[in-house]
Amino acid sequence: MNQDGLRKLLPRTPPSKTAALFLCYWLAWKASALFEVQPHVSALYLSAGLTAAVGMIGGWRHLPAAFLAICVVRQFDMPGPLLEGIDWGGALRQVLVYGGAGVLLRPRWLAMPARLTLTDAMYFVLLAFASASVSALVTLFIPPFDRLPASEMGAVFLSIWGGDFAGLLLGLPGIVLGWRRLHRRNIKLSRRGDAPTGSRHGIPSSSGLIGLALGVSLLTLLLPQITQGAAKLGILVLFPVLLAGLTRGAFMAYMVATLVCAIQILAGRVLGLPVDGVLDLQLVLTMSAATALLAGAAHDDEHFQWQHANFDLLTGLANRHRFQDQLEHETLRAARTQQLMALMYIDLDGFKAVNDSLGHHAGDALLQQVASRLRESVRETDTVARLGGDEFAIILPDLKDLAIIERIGDKLLEQLQQAFDLDGKVTHISASIGVALWPRDSLASTELIHYADRAMYEAKRLGRNRLAHHACHASINTPVAAGPPG
């Protein structure tokens, strides 16, 4: 099912939203009960993350419903009449502490871009640590924990703190990532030949990361039993999580962290994890989630800065800076391989008239559609760039013969002559294309740009809507009909 179909299933009316909230708390309560290691203490308390999400997404006005849901869902597992012996103090503590933490996160949530920044990730981890500590401390003064002997309070504090901290770091990011995937707009800034040409280093695929996470997780669980050693190796699962964050970003890192945490928890259930090992398990869960968020956000920040430095924000094509770097790279590679390379310089015919008559919004939409058609008309190895305004360039490396230039040029001219639909208004343009060839016209990238630009103006002089070479200034493609003025 696509994202639009999933969004239709989301509750929209207040009663349906309330029912969905109660269902989420019931599922979180059941999931936490699966990992209960001693009475009222869970190794992974997901309800904490859910309450923080309610405060962050909905604000204070949704917290009363969360309070009621926490009180009610717990009663289903209690003996006696419904609503008898309600843990008012525990529910109030959870709503005030974790709901309040969510409200503190709300301004950042509303202002957050499509990605998770490193600053936001650090703020979230620190707030989760602080709120889990406050909640665990307050819990010691709420029944039934207020009647515990002083000698047991330290262990209970750590157990509650670890479970709540793990629930926050694993539960809240999962809700946020799922929410954003349902509501985000699909904007891809780099595609095909505009993407980086260098090969990836390290783990080549997401499946490789998943396999590494599985292998390391099983190793940490089975090796101590095989060797009959007492060493605890759970901390090793941070390696695949860190690697996923640094190479693939926050989303992939969180998925790997969830996988290794699930293996640790399920193995603990199957192997009968003793109570004195619960804190170690909780620390593995919390550190995995924190590492995923921080390392992944750092990667996404760097990738975001790289995109803005190398790609045009309107069209997603390579910008002038990346185009010049790529052209220099291709000329050096052509010198090594002795393969022909061509540079196309493209100027739209009639763009100014569209921009003046329909407005800049229509002009921007036209440029985006032009960029899409340019990408569809070239090979995977070609680089398409927007140099500014209505000027574009295409680098054609590894040419086996000159006929490739004519075929691509014909396709470009044909595609750009077809009608453009701009908010219901149909308009037509064309393009003038100039070509410079390495090594025929020059060996230097700067001279190739100059000669391709001159050839483009020659194409305009010959009547527009055509392709011209620098060397002979002869039209290669003769249009069926003259293009619009521009």
Kindly state whether residue 462 falls inside one of the protein's structural domains: yes
Report pTM.
Answer: 0.76
Shared domain check, 356 and 218: no
pLDDT tens digit at each of 486 positions of the chain: 444 444 444 555 677 778 888 888 888 888 887 777 666 667 788 899 999 999 998 899 989 999 988 888 877 665 555 555 567 888 899 999 999 999 999 988 887 666 788 998 999 999 999 999 999 999 888 877 778 788 888 888 888 899 899 999 998 888 877 776 666 544 343 333 344 433 344 455 788 888 888 888 888 877 776 777 666 777 888 999 999 999 998 889 999 999 988 888 777 666 655 544 778 888 888 999 999 999 999 999 998 898 889 999 899 999 999 999 999 999 999 999 999 999 999 999 999 999 888 899 999 999 999 999 999 999 999 999 999 999 999 999 999 888 999 999 999 999 999 999 998 889 999 999 999 999 999 999 999 999 999 999 999 999 999 999 986 544 444 444 444 434
Which SS3 state, helix, strand or coil, does residue 340 take?
strand
Tell me, yes or no, whether 300 and 331 share the same domain: no
Q: What is the pLDDT of residue 464?
A: 93
CA dihedral angle for residue 133, residue 138, residue 141, residue 142, rounded to 10 degrees: -120
- For residue 314, being part of any structural domain is answered with no
Among 335, 370, 315, CA closest to 448: 335
The per-residue pLDDT for 476 is 45
The encoded tokens of residue 2 equal 């696509």
Cβ atoms of residues 445 and 332 within 8 Å: no
In a domain, residue 455? The reply is yes
Per the structure, the count of domains in the chain is 2
In a domain, 265, yes or no: yes
Spatial contact of 83 and 75, defined as CB atoms under 8 Å apart: yes
* pLDDT (0 to 100) of residue 81: 52
Query: Is residue 132 domain-shared with residue 251, that is, in the same domain?
Result: yes
147 and 22 in a common domain? yes
Q: Which domain holds residue 301?
A: 3-308
Q: Are strands 340-349 and 391-399 parallel, antiparallel or unpaired?
A: antiparallel
Residue 345 sits in the same domain as residue 211: no
Q: What are the residues whose beta carbons fall under 8 Å from the beta carbon of 9, sequence distance 6 or more? A: none
240 and 138: one domain? yes
- Single residue among 308, 328, 348 that ends a domain in this structure: 308
Q: Which of 253, 275, 308 is the last residue of a domain?
A: 308
Does a structural domain hold residue 481? no
Does some domain include residue 477? no
How far is it, in rounded angstroms, from Cα 411 to Cα 420?
16
372 plus 283 within the same structural domain? no
Are 271 and 344 members of one domain? no
Same domain? 304 vs 357: no
- Residues 51 and 175 grouped into a single domain: yes
- DSSP-based three-state secondary structure for 300: helix
State the maximum Cα–Cα separation within the chain, in Å, rounded to a whole number: 95
Residues 30 and 156 in one domain: yes
Residues 257 and 351 placed together within one structural domain of the fold: no
